[in-house]
Amino acid sequence: MMRNPLNPLRGWHVLVMIIAFFSVTIGVNATFITLALRTHPGEDVPRSYVQGLSYNDTLGRRRAQEALGWTARVNLVDRNILVAIAAEDGAPISGLNLAGTLVHHADTSRDCPVAFAESRPGVYAVALACGGRGDWRLEAHTVEGPPFEMVSELWLP
């Protein structure tokens, strides 16, 4: 007959079991925390606190943009993003310095800046040098001049 090593149960047995239990728990938690931080650092918008401090300025720019009454349409043609900006009466808005970011929804390390060039009056184009297949968000704004910001969802083939 084989003798049970834990009979009788001694204090050092309990100590070893408690240390083993907490070692496994801490190891699993450390692994999950590391994996979570590598895949998503937790901050969608860089410097969000500083942006929050100037939120009244943001609201003022949005009111000024609404007063202009401009609209924007986005189209994707042959791996080129086209943004057409028009006034309330439909007249094209020319001469803007438009820049932006192509934002990946799931992986912020894939985000890439884009700079538009006016291809014809009121139509601004950029060739896609970055971005892959999937769901993306285009955030564009004027660098100088009248305030204009837009956000558009895109599916890149």
- Distance, in Å, from the CA atom of 36 to the CA atom of 42, rounded to the nearest integer, reads 9
Assess whether 21 and 91 both reside in one domain.
no
pTM assigned to the model? 0.65
Residues 119 and 82 in one domain: yes
Task: Classify residue 3: in a domain, yes or no.
Answer: no
Is residue 4 in a domain?
Answer: no
Indicate whether 76 and 13 sit together in one domain: no
pLDDT value of residue 45: 65
Residues 151, 112: one domain? yes
Q: Which of 10-14, 62-66, 136-140 has the lowest mean pLDDT?
A: 62-66
- Domain with residue 65: its CATH number is 2.60.40
**Is there a domain that residue 89 lies in?**
yes
In angstroms, the CA 141 to CA 103 distance is 14
Q: Do 111 and 139 share a structural domain?
A: yes
Q: How far apart are the first and last CA of the chain?
A: 70
Residue 61 CB burial class (10 angstroms; 0-12, 13-18, ≥19): middle
Distance CA 123, CA 127 (A): 13
In this predicted structure, what is the pLDDT of residue 1?
A: 56
- Does residue 29 fall inside a structural domain? yes
How many other β-carbons are positioned within 10 Å of the β-carbon of residue 47? 9
90-116 pLDDT tens trace: 888 888 888 999 888 877 778 889 889
* 3-state secondary structure (DSSP) of residue 138: strand
Question: What's 132's DSSP letter?
Answer: -
**Which structural domain, as residue segments, surrounds residue 86?**
48-156
Q: Looking at the structure, do residues 151 and 81 belong to the same domain, yes or no?
A: yes
Which residues, 6 or more positions from 136, have their beta carbon under 8 angstroms from its beta carbon?
102, 103, 104, 105, 153, 154, 155, 156
Q: Binning pLDDT at 50, 70 and 90, where does residue 40 land? A: confident
Residue 142 within a domain:
yes
Q: Check whether residue 34 and residue 77 sit in a common domain.
A: no
CA 123 to chain centre: 25
CA-to-CA distance for 41 and 35, rounded, in angstroms?
A: 10
Predicted local confidence at residue 26, as pLDDT: 98
User: Comparing 127 with 43, which gets the higher pLDDT?
Assistant: 127
Same domain, 16 and 70: no
Rounded CA-CA distance 56/35 in Å is: 37
Residues 80 and 127: their CA atoms lie apart, in Å, by: 4
Residue predicted with more confidence, 2 or 7: 7
Whole-angstrom Cα distance, residue 35 to residue 27? 12
For the segment 139-145, the average pLDDT, to the nearest whole number, is 87
- Say how many domains are in the chain: 2
Q: How confident is the model at residue 41 (pLDDT cuts 50, 70, 90)?
A: low
24 and 62 fall within a common domain: no
Same domain, yes or no: 29 and 91:
no
Examine residue 1 and state whether it is found in any structural domain, yes or no: no
Range 64-93 average pLDDT: 87
Please indicate whether residue 129 or residue 74 has the higher confidence score (pLDDT): 74
